[in-house]
Structure 1
Amino acid sequence: MAESQPTTSGLTYASAGVDVDAGDRAVELMKDAVKATHRQGVVGGVGGFAGLFDVSALAQFRKPYLATSTDGVGTKVAIAQALDIHDTIGFDLVGMVVDDIVVVGAKPLYMTDYIACGRVVPERIADIVRGIASACSTADTALVGGETAEHPGLLGENEYDVAGAATGIVEADELLGPDRVREGDVVIGMASSGIHSNGYSLVRKVINVAGWSLDREVSEFGRTLGEELLEPTKVYAADVLDLARAFPVNGEDGSLGHGVRGFSHVTGGGLAANLARVLPQGLEARIDRSSWEIPAIFRVIGELGKVPQADLERTLNLGVGMVAIVDPSVADAAIAHLNERGVSSWALGVVATANPPAESDVDYVQGAKGVDGGAVRMIGSYA
């Protein structure tokens, strides 16, 4: 076996593909944006080994529950990389994380992020983090820390992936969920800003097979395909929590009130699968497809790829990004409240006693994502 030849100058971390100085420059470029998210409770600045949060103010809670969530953006990052636009992907990350937390009525307190890349380009990393910070500000959530890791040989020089985690808090007796939902409750839909961050493997496959380029002008969108696909995820956190405060789940005597019963964040799996997760056994949500018009991006993807409606419904949000379940007595007021805040909302359907269908019925979803709860029945045709 031949002996390896010694190098003349020796190997360094930089020669292995990791540029520590570039990482330091990235931190300098992003730190002001991160600091701008810091709210009461954040301890220390940027660059510590751990993000710190003072929880002494939480002593006023009667029985606090901590809520946590973690997620990524998925293959949507490939669109950002292809277009070389990196300051919006942060909204996708934050939306996927904090909007899962608010579903149970919890207020997101702080978030951390993780970026893995093939090569640290300081300006690109700073753009990603600025987007994350901006979205955190929208959600009134502090960005208290993060990590950027350079993985040469594992990721291409211009490739990266992002992930994040957040922690929130809610009073135990204000926790939202299936046990609050009653027959007759109204299901309210909140419009999505587009595809959000789920289903891009299907979307990218459709456009690749069709031979469409990202710079293609699409009349239905009024802009290029790439611009449409990169539209940031809407972050609902502040609007959802405001609705819960305006229409509380508990009455003045602590009993179940005439307010918000629960929320569902429409992510991977589509509307029916995610809504079924927050319904109790024995009840089903009957969703009227004719109550909204599917946005152009979903119609184009469906037609271009000849994707069956059932597959579209269990992959993409089809225009509904968040759902609220409310007492029927406040439904109209809740819809008006959301619309006044700029969140386009409408009545999607009602909660009724479950009536299980034949096993082959693709319009009926029950027991989704490992939750043996309620069901969702999709009715009629889209407007």
Structure 2
Amino acid sequence: MSQTTAASNLKETAGYSIEEGNAASRCAYNWAKKTFATRAGKPGEPAQDLEGGFSNEVRFGNERLGIGSDGIGTKIEVAERVDRYDTLGYDLIAMVADDLIVAGFIPTNLSNIIDVNTLNYEVVDELMRGLHDAAQFSQIAVTGGEIAELGNRIGGYPGARMNFNWCSTAVGVLHPSLERPLSGANVRAGQAVVALRSPSFRSNGYSLARRVLTKAFGENWHIAPYTGADADVMGPTWGDVMLAPSLIFAPGVTAVLDAGLPLHAAAHITGGGVADNFKRVLKNGVGAELDNLFEPLPAMAQLAELGGISPTDAYLYWNMGNGMLLVTDADKAEAVAAELTAKGYDAQVAGRIIAEPTITLRVGAGELRYDI
């Protein structure tokens, strides 16, 4: 099967295309980059060396701040189906805080906007209570926001108490141990890769997951029994599984930097999976061999089987149990993993940086190879 045919078939299955999404993002960034000159030499001047990431640096004199925006996408429909909203705040903060920390910025503040069809006070209260709890965990202050009632411009699951979309922008400060943001410029062959385990789907790949679940269980897939080996942790239904909140990695990575351990690059594994996200920081013609990643979550393995999704594609659309990859010195990798473990995260040395521009994953399903 040709690469074009494979991409077309997967787009039909998932309902969207990673390649087209990347192309649209590049287009948008290219237009945005044309505005950088408006702040050249002035407070708020953007950096030029973080292209390809999901956050950027702005400079105010000697102060170097990071800024990034994101939302939680169609995971909102799961909350509407299950009628539970107090965990989505973890997803909202994880998407922006973890985009900041992989560039070396400690997340400090967040502003959010909730676009709704018709306002429901109780749902807003649940959302904001969860955001408060996630902000406490991350040591972030929520310093701004807006609720906009947009009527039928906002749709969602029929019968939900409130249909909405939720997005945020976060800012952070460059960690004092770093002279410049982590961009991948210092990644070299021979360095090690440490993986952090993700206990959930986070907030990515939901369009594909919902299509697979609808085909397998019908329109009410959210109440279908979940029988995975981790059902005692995830919950008894597929709705419970898909609503499981994102683990926020920023405090753990901050602790690594606080401990004086070296980080040369980091990748937040979101839409695009391990390969598409990790390649953003693999510069200088290098690649990676990852032969000790965390195992895919049982729910991800079940979804791939239900949907007839190949391992190559599954590792592009979902994190497959790996939420973040850190690049460090080979002789410090175990210490980095130990520091993260001490902070309550599951972490392990997952592989190494190599001189060839390819990413090779050696997983239970076999060897998967992606060109950079």
Shared topology, TM-score over 0.5? yes
Q: TM-score range by the shorter chain?
A: 0.7 to 0.9
Aligned equivalents of 1:380 and 1:160: distance in 2? 38
Deviations 1:29-88 (A, max 9, x none): xxxxxxxxxxxxxxxxxxxxxxxxxxxxxx9x9932111000000100000001110111
Aligned equivalents of 1:328 and 1:62: distance in 2? 35
Q: How many residue pairs were aligned?
A: 294
Deviation for aligned residue 1:340: 1.5
Amino acid at match of 2:285: G
> 1:238 matched to which residue of 2?
251
Aligned equivalents of 2:180 and 2:137: distance in 1? 23
Question: Root-mean-square deviation (CA), in Å?
Answer: 1.9
> 1:266 matched to which residue of 2?
269
> 1:204 matched to which residue of 2?
210
> 2:352 matched to which residue of 1?
350
Deviation for aligned residue 1:134: 1.4
Aligned equivalents of 2:322 and 2:110: distance in 1? 25
> 1:323 matched to which residue of 2?
325
Aligned equivalents of 1:101 and 1:173: distance in 2? 16
> 1:229 matched to which residue of 2?
242
Deviation for aligned residue 1:184: 0.9
Contact 1:294–1:382 (CA<8 Å) still a contact in 2? no
Amino acid at match of 1:217: P
- Larger relative helix fraction: 2
Deviation for aligned residue 1:341: 1.3
What stretches of structure 2 of length at least 5 have no aligned partner? Answer: 1-58, 156-160, 367-372
Amino acid at match of 2:346: S
**Residues 1-383 of structure 1: pairs in structure 2 closer than 5 A:** 63-156=62-155, 158-170=162-174, 173-211=179-217, 213-220=221-228, 221-222=230-231, 223-248=236-261, 259-288=262-291, 291-354=293-356, 375-379=358-362, 381-382=364-365
Deviations 1:266-304 (A, max 9, x none): 01100111111112122111111x543211011011011
Aligned equivalents of 2:144 and 2:295: distance in 1? 40
Contact 1:247–1:260 (CA<8 Å) still a contact in 2? no
Contact 1:292–1:382 (CA<8 Å) still a contact in 2? no
Aligned equivalents of 2:115 and 2:294: distance in 1? 39
TM-score by length of 1: 0.73
SS of equivalent residue, structure 2 residue 113: strand
Contact 1:75–1:201 (CA<8 Å) still a contact in 2? yes
Amino acid at match of 1:247: G
Deviation for aligned residue 1:333: 1.2
Aligned equivalents of 2:61 and 2:116: distance in 1? 43
After the TM superposition, which segments of 4 or more aligned residues of structure 1 sit over 3 Å from their partners?
A: 379-383
Aligned equivalents of 2:62 and 2:328: distance in 1? 24
**Structure 1 stretch 237-246 or stretch 152-161: which is displaced more?**
152-161
TM-score by length of 2: 0.75
SS of equivalent residue, structure 1 residue 113: strand
Deviation for aligned residue 1:325: 0.8
Amino acid at match of 2:311: Q
Aligned equivalents of 2:362 and 2:336: distance in 1? 23
What stretches of structure 1 of length at least 5 have no aligned partner? Answer: 1-58, 249-258, 357-374
Percentage of matched positions with identical amino acids: 30
